[in-house]
Structure 1
Amino acid sequence: MRFSPQFLEELKARLPVSEVVGRRVKLTRAGREFKGLSPFNKEKTPSFFVNDQKQAWFDFSSQTNGSIFDFVMRTDGVTFPEAVERLAQMAGMPLPVVSREDDAREKKRKTLYEVMELAAQYFQATLAGRDGAKARGYLADRELDAATQLKFRLGYATGERFALKEHLGKQGIPVEDMTETGLLIHGDDIPVPYDRFRDRVMFPITDIRGRIIAFGGRALDKETKAKYLNSPETTLFHKGHNLYNGAAARQAAHQGAQIVVVEGYVDVIAMVNAGFPGAVAPLGTALTEDQLALIWKMHAEPVLCFDGDGAGKRAAYRAVDLALPKLEPGKSLRFAMLPEGQDPDDLLRSGGREAVADVVAQAKPLADVAWLREVEAGGFDTPERRAALEARLDAVTRGIGHEAVRKYYRQDFEARLRGFFQTESFGGGAARGAFPRRMAAAEGWRRDAAGADPRGGRGLRGGDPRRGGAPGFGGQAFGGQNGYAAVSQQLAASPLMRGPRTAMPLREALILQTVLNHPWLLHDHLEELSSLAFRHNDAERLKGAIIDGFAQEASPDAEILRAGLIRRGFADMLERLAVAVTTPAVWGAEPAAAPADVLITWQQLVALHRQWHSLTRELKDAEAALADDATEANQAWLFDVKSRIAAADGTEALIEGFGASSGRPSRSF
């Protein structure tokens, strides 16, 4: 029985290699891979590895590798068709009915790929030739040099109506194939089909395997109504299922690159040239569910990059609604907002790679964007409006499909509401009707911040909350003449920054301890560790020494790494690190922790460390903005930063079932 490539690809997509292999081999996670004892040779040390991203297994004991089909054929001793049948049954997929028509259709698809390849070669040759001078000038203006043109296979379609049609005809390609691939425009009222793309710079679009399936064309004539024109839906191309630069980005993501979703072809190319190889773009539409699923297969937490204007915010909010029902533990989105009126290409030209890297690094988590959408209008000066906000946030959480993720979003929003309503309280006292079961703690927070009994009158200068104004700025209740001092004190007192300033911060120490006890993390997270900025000099120096040591000898053995550091004079620093980690609560950082717990611990520590940096930067920006211009928008911004500090203070690093793999279940660190 013949199976179409589409059927086999879908079967592989439905069955991760780890699931198939895991039925016969006991696997444990090792970074991005799984490892276990070889099913083909007797061994004591695991040399059998599974990589779901590559859809393959690797047996170093026998120097063999393969797909799920190869594994079933070898372990079950069956033929390829039998292996496919067993895997299809496992996946719950009905076997296709193969007919002569199906066989002919598959041969036809192969022919259509060849047609698209010939068209791409023609467009490339035209760009390089005499007719491509104008297009080359346009590309030069966009700083897309000859090397870039070759790398992305850019081309040019002349303004003639039949140029491509005649060229492909000379190659023996029938008009029907040109029509089926969308290269020609045809119809009942069009007696002679003609070229779809005319006087346009051409951008080939590939599928995830790198085969050309469509084109995007950028008009050179300013009078042309359609600035960008994509191929229509065809046998090969479904624009909602593919991404520009998807094939190259998938490979880059496997090597550790961040996936960054931008809007257009030129933005992608500019990002790749600037050192962001994981850049992709939708194909002339808003991000679709299928595209999001494809992106999540590449990266667990991609960054969506939007313009900072109203349209960009609306696009971000649409992406929030698209993602919420699909969220899973460890799978989310982050949102980077560009300066208003600039796309990534503009920002790269004006500020260089550092400007874009800073925007990407400061990308907000999905929870932040969902929260901002609900509170940005302001005006929560009555119990009814506050109740409406709470109801909207409840609706957001109810839309999350995964139970555990839904629970933690609810906790996160409740904590944000506590902090938000505290800052908008009436008369300096408790916000009536806002989470009454927690008001005793809330009043204590205000008493500490203001240095006075919160029930003792208004005590606030600034807007009247009953008229929709924002209280608490410039008044004694928030620190006298400096109306923002209490906010900074709150951040300094929060768990994110708690601890003696002369000692190494606990989180920095825990990050280093985790790596020292589990150097295998560095195989996949070396660049991530390198990107972390530590505020303590010892932590920064030890981080650099760890990276250098691993670069010299990339061993997963913790003792080898420590011995190398001691030889280089870091023995005292390692002792100070041990003193800095005074709590045994973070089991995942300990030597005996299971790899699954270690990885969760690492992800949480890094996320919280970056959150601390982001909060400190944003707090300073918000304070400065309000000092310069005391508008309601700037007041709302500072309120939002405060609410996120309160949320971090109350729900820091909760992990469902943390430590279970190590036999040490724990609720948090």
Structure 2
Amino acid sequence: MTLTPQWLDELRARTVLSALIGNTTRIQKAGREYKACCPFHNEKTPSFTINDEKGFYHCFGCGAHGDAIRWMTDQRGLPFMDAIKELAAAAGMDVPAPDPRAAKRAEKAQSLHDVTNASQDWFVAQLDGIEGREARAYLSKRGLTDQTRRAFGLGFAPDSRSKLKDALKSFPEEMLVETGMLIKPEEEAGKPARESYDRFRGRLMIPIRDQRGRVIAFGGRILGQGEPKYLNSPETPLFDKGRTLYNLDKAAPAARKSGRIVVVEGYMDVIAIAQAGIAEAVAPLGTALTEAQIERLWSMVETPVLCFDGDSAGQRAALRAAHRALPLLKPGHSLAFATLPTGQDPDDLIRASGVRAFEAVLEGAIPLVELIWRSEEAALPLDTPEQRAGLRQRLDDLCKTIADGEIRYHYSQHLRELFSARFARPARPSGFAPAQRRSGGSVKNGRWMPPPPPPTADAQAIRETGGDLLLLRAVLAGLLRFPTEIMVHREALASLMPGDDRLADFLDALLEASDHEETVETERLLTILGERDLYNMAKGLLRADALHFTFTRDEADKRRAQRDLAEAIAVIVAIPRIDSELAAVTRAMAENLDEAGFARQQSLRQLKADLAARVAELAQPLDE
């Protein structure tokens, strides 16, 4: 089929874009253009514009942009040629004659769709009949309603080698084999050919549809004991398992409205979640999430939520997906990971605790970078310097797999900050048996830890007020003492917005100095600060005797001070982020008080308290 640029331009010219979009989206006139709430992301204030003269739409919120053809493929989910045919029919245009070979392939595909549709109709009829009694009882036991059963087209394959084959005898046997409905045994030399037989026998049948809603394959769940528990259609001209997501036809429109898509492990998880009211759920088809499936998810939302079981198999699946996503990452696009309670799948959780409990799991999803950190940190012991170096090497190797340079840089910085915070303070000497503990101490990893020294007055002030400025002064003093640390933590430092103007100027001066000079020493920094009338402030910070990371008696003290400085920077960066999220959660609870919101608020408050306690510890002077 030859579609020339001239023909496509004529098709666009004959299509009134506002009328096309207005068929499914509420639009309003705005001067010479039209406006609407963007159908590609969830918004309350219109930022989506339609310009009929120029023939394109554009969203200033999410960046969606295109013409009439792009609308049909992106918003309606149609393949390119189907979009062309529908637009041409509406515009009264004839589509150019197809290439004979392409026409033959299309005709064959259409006839294969006829086979899968006929199979689907037959499976549904069997579920409603006498032989479907056991399957209906199974669905009832799982709490699925008749409405849900019919919405997902569930059916039943009787335990027979030839009932489907006999029912579809109007189709050539070769087509039934090609669609995966029959199995044709391989011929063996010297032996008579064996007859083909039904692939699915004694199973609950779940149709797999493409994005247009056409049945392309099936998944069959065994009702009693036996293996495999689930049996999928083989790959066929209609069905590419690595590129297909179960329930995509229903989930894609729902995801565009909610701005979220949830990936779970299996068919029945999707169906149970949908019955509970969450329509934007999909599942891979018995394999780990593939690169093509990740790209398909990103075409709908920027950060899909992967929700897997809390057992080892579920966590391995999550980690495989994370590793596959790393090379594909692009600005604004990532994955989030939610973990179900151990021993529960989504159906179990919803039936036991309600859909709010499942929503709470989704709201607790962690970003991809956090999953990478947690999994690598827990992978091997970290008791020796060599083992910790191994962790650092593994993190660096994973960062190197990220193709996008900007994202690779930010991942590397973030993981290094987590590493520094984790190993900021050396382990205390061991050798104290539990019976030898003194009051106030604690046991950690089988070792007695002495109680922290009593807080100084300044440290107590940090506990009581949050102490952002006091800790920032200590951090700035540490950076004066160890100027090479400015570049190490530059990204984190640049994100700080001190409430004190003088401290903000001081921090800016340190960052600018590191930008212009590859190596800078304390005396050189003092000279630069003097040029900005900050010399006296710098000398005052270096003289501070309570809140600082500057006292160094020997090389061991120096290393300890640098580790504490790294952790202090991580803490001071985290505090405003926690405050912001806590404020947002509190505002949301004022409008809708629910259990998930309350739990998140309490979690954030505890995290803030823990940070404040750690700040108080860091505020102690180094032993002299």
Shift of 1:496: 5.7
Amino acid at match of 1:38: N
- Once residues 69 and 414 of structure 2 are traced to their aligned partners in structure 1, the CA distance between those partners, rounded to angstroms, is 36
Equivalent of 1:406 in 397, 408, 413: 408
Equivalent of 2:451 in 472, 475, 485: 475
What SS class does the counterpart of residue 194 from structure 2 fall into?
Answer: strand
Find out whether 1:202 has 2:205 as its counterpart: yes
Quote the residue 1:113 is aligned against.
Answer: 113
Quote the residue 1:193 is aligned against.
Answer: 196
Shift of 1:193: 1.0
Quote the residue 2:484 is aligned against.
Answer: none
Find out whether 1:40 has 2:22 as its counterpart: no
- Once residues 464 and 306 of structure 2 are traced to their aligned partners in structure 1, the CA distance between those partners, rounded to angstroms, is 30
- Once residues 304 and 417 of structure 1 are traced to their aligned partners in structure 2, the CA distance between those partners, rounded to angstroms, is 25
Shift of 1:80: 8.0
Calculate the TM-score normalised by the size of structure 2: 0.62
Q: Note if contact 2:36-2:49 (Cα within 8 Å) is conserved in structure 1.
A: no
Q: Note if contact 1:260-1:278 (Cα within 8 Å) is conserved in structure 2.
A: yes
Quote the residue 1:221 is aligned against.
Answer: 224
Q: Note if contact 2:272-2:347 (Cα within 8 Å) is conserved in structure 1.
A: yes
1:141/1:80 CA distance change after superposition, 3 Å: same
Q: Note if contact 1:334-1:366 (Cα within 8 Å) is conserved in structure 2.
A: yes
Quote the residue 1:329 is aligned against.
Answer: 331
Q: Note if contact 2:116-2:216 (Cα within 8 Å) is conserved in structure 1.
A: yes
Correspondences of 1:496-645 after superposition (within 5 Å): 533-534=585-586, 617=603, 620=606
Find out whether 1:175 has 2:158 as its counterpart: no
Q: Note if contact 1:295-1:302 (Cα within 8 Å) is conserved in structure 2.
A: yes
Q: Deviations over 1:450-492 (max 9, x none)?
A: xxxxxxxxx995568xxx76785x6225989xxxx99999799
Correspondences of 1:156-555 after superposition (within 5 Å): 156-169=156-169, 172-189=170-187, 191-222=194-225, 224-377=226-379, 379-425=381-427, 461-462=441-442, 475-477=451-453, 494=572, 533-534=585-586
Shift of 1:391: 1.6
Shift of 1:312: 1.8
1:36/1:338 CA distance change after superposition, 3 Å: closer
Shift of 1:262: 0.9
Residue identity (%): 36
- Once residues 196 and 367 of structure 2 are traced to their aligned partners in structure 1, the CA distance between those partners, rounded to angstroms, is 49
1:427/1:251 CA distance change after superposition, 3 Å: same
Quote the residue 1:513 is aligned against.
Answer: none
1:42/1:334 CA distance change after superposition, 3 Å: closer
Shift of 1:302: 0.9
Amino acid at match of 1:228: Y
1:70/1:235 CA distance change after superposition, 3 Å: closer
Q: Note if contact 2:263-2:305 (Cα within 8 Å) is conserved in structure 1.
A: yes
What SS class does the counterpart of residue 297 from structure 2 fall into?
Answer: helix
Amino acid at match of 2:288: A
Amino acid at match of 1:235: P
Q: Deviations over 1:259-279 (max 9, x none)?
A: 111111111100111121111
Q: Note if contact 1:478-1:486 (Cα within 8 Å) is conserved in structure 2.
A: no
Shift of 1:386: 2.5
Shift of 1:238: 1.3
Shift of 1:102: 3.2
What SS class does the counterpart of residue 376 from structure 1 fall into?
Answer: helix
1:56/1:215 CA distance change after superposition, 3 Å: same
Q: Deviations over 1:560-613 (max 9, x none)?
A: xxxxxxxxxxxxxxxxxxxxxxxxxxxxxxxxxxxxxxxxxxxxxxxxxx9998
Q: Note if contact 1:259-1:278 (Cα within 8 Å) is conserved in structure 2.
A: yes
Q: Note if contact 1:124-1:155 (Cα within 8 Å) is conserved in structure 2.
A: yes
- Once residues 42 and 469 of structure 1 are traced to their aligned partners in structure 2, the CA distance between those partners, rounded to angstroms, is 70
1:486/1:424 CA distance change after superposition, 3 Å: farther
Question: Mind listing any 5+ residue stretches in structure 1 that lack a counterpart?
Answer: 9-16, 18-24, 59-65, 83-96, 429-458, 510-531, 545-609, 624-637, 647-669
Shift of 1:381: 3.7
Question: Mind listing any 5+ residue stretches in structure 2 that lack a counterpart?
Answer: 9-16, 18-31, 42-46, 73-78, 188-192, 431-438, 469-570, 619-624
Amino acid at match of 1:138: Y
- Once residues 460 and 183 of structure 1 are traced to their aligned partners in structure 2, the CA distance between those partners, rounded to angstroms, is 71
- Once residues 239 and 280 of structure 1 are traced to their aligned partners in structure 2, the CA distance between those partners, rounded to angstroms, is 14
What SS class does the counterpart of residue 182 from structure 1 fall into?
Answer: coil
Q: Deviations over 1:199-239 (max 9, x none)?
A: 111000011211100001111231x2221111111111111
- Once residues 343 and 301 of structure 1 are traced to their aligned partners in structure 2, the CA distance between those partners, rounded to angstroms, is 22
Correspondences of 1:53-92 after superposition (within 5 Å): 56-57=70-71
What SS class does the counterpart of residue 287 from structure 2 fall into?
Answer: coil
Q: Note if contact 1:258-1:276 (Cα within 8 Å) is conserved in structure 2.
A: no
- Once residues 384 and 46 of structure 1 are traced to their aligned partners in structure 2, the CA distance between those partners, rounded to angstroms, is 52
- Once residues 489 and 315 of structure 1 are traced to their aligned partners in structure 2, the CA distance between those partners, rounded to angstroms, is 44
Q: Note if contact 1:479-1:486 (Cα within 8 Å) is conserved in structure 2.
A: no
Amino acid at match of 2:111: T
1:316/1:469 CA distance change after superposition, 3 Å: farther
Amino acid at match of 2:202: D
Shift of 1:284: 1.1
- Once residues 467 and 362 of structure 2 are traced to their aligned partners in structure 1, the CA distance between those partners, rounded to angstroms, is 24
Instruction: Count matched residues.
Output: 448
What SS class does the counterpart of residue 144 from structure 1 fall into?
Answer: coil
Q: Note if contact 1:243-1:280 (Cα within 8 Å) is conserved in structure 2.
A: yes
Q: Deviations over 1:421-474 (max 9, x none)?
A: 12445569xxxxxxxxxxxxxxxxxxxxxxxxxxxxxx995568xxx76785x6
1:269/1:52 CA distance change after superposition, 3 Å: farther
What SS class does the counterpart of residue 173 from structure 1 fall into?
Answer: coil
Find out whether 1:141 has 2:144 as its counterpart: no
- Once residues 144 and 335 of structure 2 are traced to their aligned partners in structure 1, the CA distance between those partners, rounded to angstroms, is 30
1:498/1:36 CA distance change after superposition, 3 Å: closer
What SS class does the counterpart of residue 255 from structure 1 fall into?
Answer: helix
Q: Note if contact 2:165-2:197 (Cα within 8 Å) is conserved in structure 1.
A: yes
Amino acid at match of 2:126: T
Q: Note if contact 2:35-2:50 (Cα within 8 Å) is conserved in structure 1.
A: no
Quote the residue 1:570 is aligned against.
Answer: none
Q: Note if contact 1:38-1:46 (Cα within 8 Å) is conserved in structure 2.
A: no
Q: Note if contact 1:53-1:298 (Cα within 8 Å) is conserved in structure 2.
A: no
Shift of 1:405: 1.2
Calculate the TM-score normalised by the size of structure 1: 0.58
- Once residues 608 and 182 of structure 2 are traced to their aligned partners in structure 1, the CA distance between those partners, rounded to angstroms, is 54
What SS class does the counterpart of residue 217 from structure 1 fall into?
Answer: strand
Quote the residue 1:104 is aligned against.
Answer: 104
Quote the residue 1:596 is aligned against.
Answer: none
Shift of 1:103: 2.0
Quote the residue 1:514 is aligned against.
Answer: none
Amino acid at match of 1:125: A
